[in-house]
Amino acid sequence: MLFHRVSSFAALALAALPLMAQHKVTQAEVDRITRDAILIDTHNDVTSLTVEGYDIAKPNAHGQTDLARMKGFLVAEFFAVYVGAEYVNGNHSANRALEMIDTVRTDIIASHPNDFVFATTADDIVRAHNEHKIAALMGIEGGHAIEDSLRLLRDYYALGVRYMTLTHFNTNNWADSQGDVDNPKIMHHNGLTPFGKDVVREMNRLGMMVDISHTADRTFWDALETSSAPIIASHSGCRAVTSYTRNMTDEMIKALAAKGGVMQINFGCEFLSQRYFNDSKPLQAAMRERYQEIRKIEDPAARAEAMEKLRTEFTSKVPSATLADVVAQIDHAVKTGGIDHVGIGTDFDGVACVPPELSSYNKFPALTRALLEKEYSAEDIKKIYGGNLLRVMRAVEQRARELSSTPAIHSDIAKK
Ligand SMILES: [Zn+2]
């Protein structure tokens, strides 16, 4: 009898559980929250296509970024001024950076003035939201773009660049990169050099956000200690969830948050999912070789076709990460660093694989729904989508105002 009573009580409790744990999420609620949020993406590599002639207003069948899928969902884009390590040879890094800045200003903004608006401040982003336009901002990816000159850094700021990722996969003359963690001969600065610290200080003085995605862990700690403003990780993930060293440890996430910064969750499958990371690793070297071969194909249509074939072959061998993986990354980052220190940095068109359920900006309602079902509030979601990044931008702008009477830094890498 007692057994019966207990078991029926247990059954009742179990039946009630889903109701208590989860409110019924309506489509109207999902749409309203997604529309009202100021969605800011801090890393998009479509510029590597536009610089070669791709029009962002045309459907991007093989990629994640085009105007039709941005409109009505995305409020602000930080377009990557990506400078590959190969430009270091022969000192072509500044040339490439200037070309990438021009593709944002000419091919994206000036060619589509009804849809994009040039933006450099948090207020510009809010204004763009009110005017139903997409704010176009720029972040340099790869500190070698400044060719060891703070004058070039100031030029880039003047042209509108508002963050710089201190390294790409390559260690430069003043900062160690995560890409060289297994190569101590190349990664030799033990973080930032004295000149590298001056780069960070000058970024603070100008009002350019310091970005530590791609840097070696030691560089992260040096940048965090040197910067007098909050810093960002523009496209990273949680190493406790996926062991890829491009992701941040819990200790790093906590320290970044304690200093008021924000980490932006990368949608690349290798960042999101340990299963994908493990399964794709053995294939990567061979795939990378074929990818480099395909990049040499001159005809754009033939190149795109070969790229798609390679992608299909790869995904048939290693299934993509999922929307649930994105939610798990966000959730871990929030539990570790706090709700005020997590955002979105998709890396769209810069990674080989993204979750199919989140393959562009028009799919964000699916993420909104998933977060609501996990009991995130509308306010929480708005913070993650852009509110937190706006706060950091404002803090960086405020710090630059405080430093406005201090003179420009003149630092020579050779004398340090
Ligand atoms: Zn990157």
**Tens of pLDDT along 31-83?**
999 999 999 999 999 999 999 999 999 999 889 999 999 999 999 999 999 99
Distance 237 CA to ligand 1 centre (A): 12
330: which residues sit within 8 A by CB, 6+ positions away? Answer: 265, 342, 371, 384
CA distance 384 to 33: 12
Distance 82 CA to ligand 1 centre (A): 8
Distance 109 CA to ligand 1 centre (A): 22
Domain that holds residue 60: 30-271+322-402
Residue at a domain's end among 291, 320, 349: 320
Return the pLDDT at 416: 65
Task: Give the confidence band of 287 by pLDDT, cuts at 50, 70, 90.
Answer: confident
Strands (DSSP E) contained in 32-93 are: 40-44, 76-82
- Looking at the fold, whether 211 and 346 belong to one and the same domain comes out as yes
Residue 5 lies in a domain: no
Distance 367 CA to ligand 1 centre (A): 22
* pLDDT, mean of residues 358-375: 98
- Looking at the fold, whether 157 and 299 belong to one and the same domain comes out as no
Distance 287 CA to ligand 1 centre (A): 18
pLDDT at 3 > cutoff 50: no
Instruction: Give the range among 166-180, 259-273, 298-312, 402-416 with minimum mean pLDDT.
Output: 298-312
- Looking at the fold, whether 315 and 361 belong to one and the same domain comes out as no
Distance 141 CA to ligand 1 centre (A): 7
Distance 24 CA to ligand 1 centre (A): 38
- Looking at the fold, whether 285 and 376 belong to one and the same domain comes out as no
* pLDDT, mean of residues 136-154: 98
**Cβ contact 29:377 at 8 Å:** no
**Cβ contact 248:256 at 8 Å:** yes
- Looking at the fold, whether 59 and 110 belong to one and the same domain comes out as yes
pLDDT at 24 > cutoff 80: yes
Digit-coded pLDDT (tens) for 309-337: 888 888 888 999 999 999 999 999 999 99
Distance 6 CA to ligand 1 centre (A): 56
Q: What is the mean pLDDT of the chain?
A: 93
Distance 206 CA to ligand 1 centre (A): 23
Residue 4 lies in a domain: no
Number of domains in the chain: 2
Distance 168 CA to ligand 1 centre (A): 7
CA distance 357 to 367: 9
Name residue 139's beta-bridge partners: 80, 163
- Looking at the fold, whether 192 and 306 belong to one and the same domain comes out as no
Distance 308 CA to ligand 1 centre (A): 21
Q: What proportion of the chain, given as a percentage, has pLDDT over 70?
A: 94
Residue at a domain's end among 263, 293, 320: 320
- Looking at the fold, whether 169 and 300 belong to one and the same domain comes out as no
- Looking at the fold, whether 80 and 172 belong to one and the same domain comes out as yes
Its pTM surpasses 0.85 = yes
Residue 237, CA distances (Å) to 59, 234, 246, 323, 336 in order: 29, 10, 7, 14, 12
Strands 161-165 and 134-141: parallel
Residue 151 lies in a domain: yes
Residue, of 186 and 126, whose pLDDT is higher: 126
Residue 7 lies in a domain: no
- Looking at the fold, whether 161 and 291 belong to one and the same domain comes out as no
* pLDDT, mean of residues 339-364: 97
* pLDDT, mean of residues 196-204: 98
Residue type (1 letter), 415:
K
- Looking at the fold, whether 286 and 178 belong to one and the same domain comes out as no
Return the pLDDT at 312: 84
Q: What proportion of the chain, given as a percentage, has pLDDT over 90?
A: 81
Distance 192 CA to ligand 1 centre (A): 19
Return the pLDDT at 9: 47
Which residue pairs, CB below 8 angstroms and at least 24 apart, start in 410-416?
Answer: 410/150, 411/150, 411/195, 411/198, 411/202, 412/195, 413/148, 413/173, 413/174, 413/193, 413/195, 416/193, 416/194, 416/195, 416/198
Residue 100 lies in a domain: yes
Digit-coded pLDDT (tens) for 222-276: 999 999 999 999 999 999 999 999 999 999 999 999 999 999 999 999 999 999 9
Q: What are phi and psi of 414, to 5 degrees?
A: -70, -30
Residue 1 lies in a domain: no
Return the pLDDT at 2: 41
Return the pLDDT at 5: 46
* Six token digits for residue 68: 């039709």
* pLDDT, mean of residues 87-96: 96
Strands (DSSP E) contained in 68-218 are: 76-82, 116-118, 134-141, 161-165, 209-211
Distance 350 CA to ligand 1 centre (A): 7
Residue 25 lies in a domain: no
Distance 235 CA to ligand 1 centre (A): 7
Distance 44 CA to ligand 1 centre (A): 9
- Looking at the fold, whether 44 and 181 belong to one and the same domain comes out as yes
Task: Give the confidence band of 380 by pLDDT, cuts at 50, 70, 90.
Answer: very high
Residue 22 lies in a domain: no
- Looking at the fold, whether 75 and 136 belong to one and the same domain comes out as yes
Distance 138 CA to ligand 1 centre (A): 14
Task: Give the confidence band of 7 by pLDDT, cuts at 50, 70, 90.
Answer: very low
Q: What CATH number is attached to the domain comprising 68?
A: 3.20.20.140
> What's the length of the chain?
416
